Amino acid sequence: MTRVKLAFDDLALFGAPPAFDDLLHVGRPNVGDPQRLHERINTMLANRWLSNDGPLVREFERRVAEACGVKHCLAMCNGTIALEIAIRALDLSGEVILPSYTFVATAHALQWQEITPVFCDMDPATHNIDPSKIEALITPSTTGIIGVHLWGRGCDTDAIESIAAKRNLAVLYDAAHAFGCTHQGRRVGGFGRAEVLSFHATKFVNSGEGGAVVTNDDALAEKMRLMRNFGFVHFDKVNHIGTNGKMCELSAAMGLTSLDSCGDFVAVNRRNYLHYCEQLRQVRGITPIAYDSAETPNYQYVVIEVDEPAAGLSRDELIELMFAENIRARRYFWPGAHRMEPYRSYFPNAHLMLSETERVAAKVIVLPTGTAIGPSDIDAICAIMRLGLLDPARVRARIKERAAAMP
């Protein structure tokens, strides 16, 4: 049940029933056609082929490669393993430059292999890595740059790859947010030496759990194909060091079913995004990030920035307001990888070079979207924000009162 709040005293923060009986999460999975999923699972069971490069995985790889406009897709058990394998296949070592404003797995995939992540500041207009800050971070130990297409908006690939070519560095992109998107009119997937995708359950196209590396580099693809399967080239012949990074057939069945509905998912995401923008258009201090109309976004994320002086409430206070209504809006990627362990201990002064990351990270909220919600839910969410901003002082006082009462 959804309750649209019409008056300030209807807010759950002040004792009224919450707008939603059930928790409304960011990233609730899109499912697709359950019947088609069951058919694929039944075929998998009849074949008794559950893993080890099965027919569903091969079909999934073919369709993802086609969607990205690349020669090779190597499906993996998850996006983090895909990052780790791509990093190792590129022979990265020493130091690698990447944004701090990303999911911490981007940094962990380096540190796990004893490669030092060197955090670069963001461009506040795009939330992506700022290429103008990269060269100052390059040292004799630097071997690569990882760009992240945050929110599905491509980072400045021309500038990054120009710097990399001049300094003989490898370029890898974390494209976990960007499946189905375009950048400079090209489909994401073919930039750099390789790009890494995520098909985690929270992604708009998902395989339950999964990831992939896409590339046009034949030799790199063959190397990663060995690495994801213990280095096996034949039944009992190992030609390379490797691990178990394979996607299983069950995940591929989910991934294929999700791909079948990809266009529908994007249409719902776009509808939701535009509805949020319309509802929040004149709300002071709240600005949804913009998607370039010249590109093809997937609209997977509805992201707003909160200008505290204009709104009257901070980002965190606005989240408290929504949490009381069972709206689990999120503070992506708070507080930045540089303030998470082990990096906080390794680089205690990193924040001094990450002023834009610090500033923007404190303003961002990601709102629920996807097939789990509709226009009436968005109306309710936006009504709550509008009501809360009618009397910020009273909301702030109530939040402090509740915090003081906690044991």
The better pLDDT of the pair 11, 405 is held by 11
The chain-wide mean pLDDT, for the chain, equals 96
C-alpha distances (whole Å) from 143 to each of 23, 170, 203, 287 are 44, 6, 30, 37
pTM of the model: 0.95
State mean pLDDT over 23-41.
96
What value, to the nearest 5°, has the Cα angle with vertex 166 and ends 165 and 169? 50
Backbone conformation region of residue 42, classed left if phi is above 0, alpha if psi is from -120 to 50, else beta: alpha
Which of 361, 354, 358 is CA-nearest to residue 121? Answer: 354
| Amino acid 407: pLDDT | 80
Q: Does the structural domain 8-28+262-329+368-405 have CATH classification 3.40.50.300?
A: no
C-alpha distances (whole Å) from 71 to each of 23, 91, 214 are 42, 21, 8
Number of continuous H segments (helices) and E segments (strands) in the chain = 14, 16
Angstrom distance (rounded) from CA 282 to CA 71? 46
Query: Hey, what's the torsion of the CAs at 36, 39, 41, 43, to 10 degrees?
Result: -140
Does residue 180 register a pLDDT over 90?
A: yes
| Amino acid 108: pLDDT | 98
The DSSP element (H or E) to which 306 belongs, if any, is: strand 302-306
> What are phi and psi for residue 346, nearest 5 degrees?
-70, -40
Structure confidence at residue 303 as a pLDDT band (50, 70, 90): very high
> What are phi and psi for residue 367, nearest 5 degrees?
-100, 155
Beta pairing class for 302-306 and 364-367: antiparallel
Whether the domain at 8-28+262-329+368-405 and the domain at 34-260 fall into the same CATH topology: no
| Amino acid 405: pLDDT | 85
Which of 251, 247, 240, 181 is CA-nearest to residue 213? Answer: 247
Helix or strand or coil: residue 146?
strand
Identify the DSSP state of 38: H
Question: Integer distance in angstroms from the first to the last C-alpha of the chain?
Answer: 31
Q: For 344-393, write each residue's pLDDT tens digit.
A: 999 999 999 999 999 999 999 999 999 999 999 999 999 999 999 999 99
- Residue boundaries of the structural domains of the chain: 8-28+262-329+368-405, 34-260
| C-beta separation of 265 from 204 below 8 A | yes
Query: Hey, which residues does 120 pair with through a beta bridge?
Result: 99
Does residue 80 register a pLDDT over 90?
A: yes
Helix or strand or coil: residue 208?
coil
For the domain spanning 34-260, the CATH number is 3.40.640.10
Angstrom distance (rounded) from CA 134 to CA 120? 7
> What are phi and psi for residue 119, nearest 5 degrees?
-85, 130
Q: For 93-117, write each residue's pLDDT tens digit.
A: 999 999 999 999 999 999 999 999 9
Angstrom distance (rounded) from CA 83 to CA 78? 9
